[in-house]
Chains A and B, each alone.
Chain A
């Protein structure tokens, strides 16, 4: 019987893939044998092996409400039911909001060098407010700007160099 792959199992697959990718990268570490046979590859090898094994174990593991170490007797399996209950408790995922938050962060990353800290920061703070479903966007936009501008000048005063829109500027 083929079962649906749960999110947790996808994550386990991700861990294994990461481990394999790192294992491939170990080949790039020059292996001068180091002192007493312990070279710069030794620890990476241990950790990568650990990641692959642990990822594999997580993939095989069945979830159980009494904890992951429970001995499962007589094919009793409540993993799916447990997941449904947890999902209900957690509430439905709102991926649109995840996308807004992510988009805001990425836009900020791209823009900070171009339009300066203050404006990019305003955009960032306001975008996060939108992602958290603010009910008073206009006010938040004003406050975001005030916060970003305040931080910009505070840290300029403290000697931290943040990019400005205008050279030597106020923004």
Chain B
């Protein structure tokens, strides 16, 4: 109950100031816009906003960045349903049924169930976040550098082995991220590492350059090379916009189930939104009434309602480890972490004591942002559809222009533009050969933190490596890490052998 007290006395008091309301509105609007636009996602937008937010006060800036993050999830469904090209990974499933519904003239109810479901899931997840976060933060206070390092190992294992379809490619992406994170001055000894004698590399490679290169430049190179011939048809909205009684009846249970599937997945280090949305889709498909089951594949409303709720719940869920442990579990969360670092704020258990207005203000703004997004996405959906009419070449031209500007503005140096292009080519290759990008970004941001905690643990325990196994919490975390790496391939192997025999 203490947390409710803090939420109302501190949180809403902070979030409801005119300036912070404005930041939330800007964030939500921007988030919806980039969610709707294919080719640009929340990670790149948050990265692009980093330099701009430097002069804003931290609370307002983080409220805006959070608005971009979950606003993109609301907006992503519009693109999936009307264009059948998911703007975000979490909206892939919504495209399955949603686009079929739109083709059958039921775009309105599909968009409505997505928006209302997102609102519903977002609000329930925010309530869960408000209740859980202080408890987890309290527990996390007992974690020392030994446990924190083990927890980071778990995060590394989970993001690289669970996301994507090849653990090996995930591991390579992670190691690349860790390697890039090493570039620059090593803070404890003051030695420079991997700078190749180049002065601009001493400060390391900025996260803005990495995010822009991977997500904006890499994506543009890929689209130019492979997707010029692809044509996507925009569905028009016709018929009733609102959901009818039967739509409501068929939607509320999927919303609830989607939320319950999505939120825990978001909190896990193996976060991401693909898995919970796929799980929710298959659950709805199994649980649907016989006549609804026949509609699956032809446009069943359950197949939009569930995954969209799961998607939003998962995004809110990723804020739990970010705020309480300081560990990001998605690319966007990782870039948000560097936004905290920009203000010298360390997210983690202490945040609730040292910056209570910031944390609770941010959480309170989620409630407000959800209401804003419902309004932005339901009555104003027609406006966002106009966005989809921007011709693709011009859209990508604009994205690349913004990305290069973001990189150039860092230091006014062509060197960053060259790095941007190189990272872009790496992003292109990763996209072409199915390497997941999230492990790279998480490795880049968490890697230096992990090294710091490792060294701290070693100096406390006189270089005794066994401490990671003798501390019970650390041992438990490391055992889970090993299980994540070993169990899925073994299960797969067993299944295959059984099938063969």
Contacts and interface: CB of A to CB of B under 8 A. Distances in A.
A38 interface: yes
A94 B228 contact: yes
Interface in B391-409: 391-394, 396-398, 400-402, 404-405, 408-409
Given A68-B168, A124-B401, A132-B228, A109 B418 contact: yes
Nearest to B196: A25
Contacts of A35: 188, 455, 458-459, 463
Contacts of A84: none
Contacts of B400: 105, 124-125, 128
B134 interface: no
B429 interface: yes
B179 A98 contact: no
Interface residues of A, number: 79
A105 B458 contact: no
Contacts, number: 210
Given A8-B433, A36-B459, A40-B189, A133 B168 contact: no
Contacts of B463: 35-38
A113 B393 contact: no
Contact of A25 (B194, B398, B409): B194
Interface size class, chain B: 35 or more
Given A71-B493, A98-B221, A129 B394 contact: yes
A71 B491 CA distance: 12
B172 interface: yes
A132 B268 CA distance: 39
Interface in B102-116: none
Q: Which of A51, A66, A132 neighbours the largest number of chain B CB atoms within 10 Å of its CB? A: A132
B135 to A, nearest CB: 33
B424 interface: yes
Contacts of A29: 191-193
Q: Which of B225, B397, B424 neighbours the largest number of chain A CB atoms within 10 Å of its CB? A: B397
B175 A51 contact: yes
Interface of A: 7-8, 11, 15, 18, 22, 25, 29-30, 32, 34-40, 43-44, 47-48, 50-51, 54-55, 57-58, 61, 66-71, 73, 90-91, 93-95, 97-98, 100-102, 105-106, 108-110, 112-113, 117, 121, 124-134, 136, 140, 143-144, 147-148, 151, 155, 158-163
B223 interface: yes
B165 A67 contact: yes
B497 A105 contact: no
Given A34-B189, A70-B496, A133-B228, A101 B401 contact: no
Interface string B157-168: 000000001111
Query: Which secondary structure dominates chain B's binding surface?
Result: helix
Contact of A94 (B55, B226, B418, B455): B226
Given A40-B191, A55-B172, A102-B221, 8 more contacts: A36-B461, A67-B166, A69-B488, A105-B400, A106-B421, A113-B414, A132-B392, A162-B409
A132 B221 contact: no
B52 A158 contact: yes
Contacts of A163: 412
Contacts of B192: 29
A73 B223 CA distance: 38
Contacts of B186: 40
B292 to A, nearest CB: 31
B417 A50 contact: no
A101 B220 contact: yes
B182 interface: yes
Interface string B195-221: 010000000000000000000010011
Given A68-B168, A97-B224, A11 B429 contact: yes
A123 B397 CA distance: 10
A110 B414 contact: yes
B462 interface: yes
Contacts of A18: 179
B225 to A, nearest CB: 4
Contacts of B165: 67-68
B458 A132 contact: no
Nearest to B424: A105
A113 B166 CA distance: 43
Nearest to B166: A68
A22 B221 contact: no
Contacts of A38: 454-455, 458, 463
Q: Which 5 A-B pairs have the closest CB atoms?
A: A36-B463, A125-B397, A132-B393, A134-B393, A129-B393
B171 interface: yes
Contacts of A68: 165-168
Contacts of A8: 433
B420 to A, nearest CB: 8
A162 B191 CA distance: 33
Contact of B226 (A67, A93, A155): A93
A97 B451 CA distance: 42
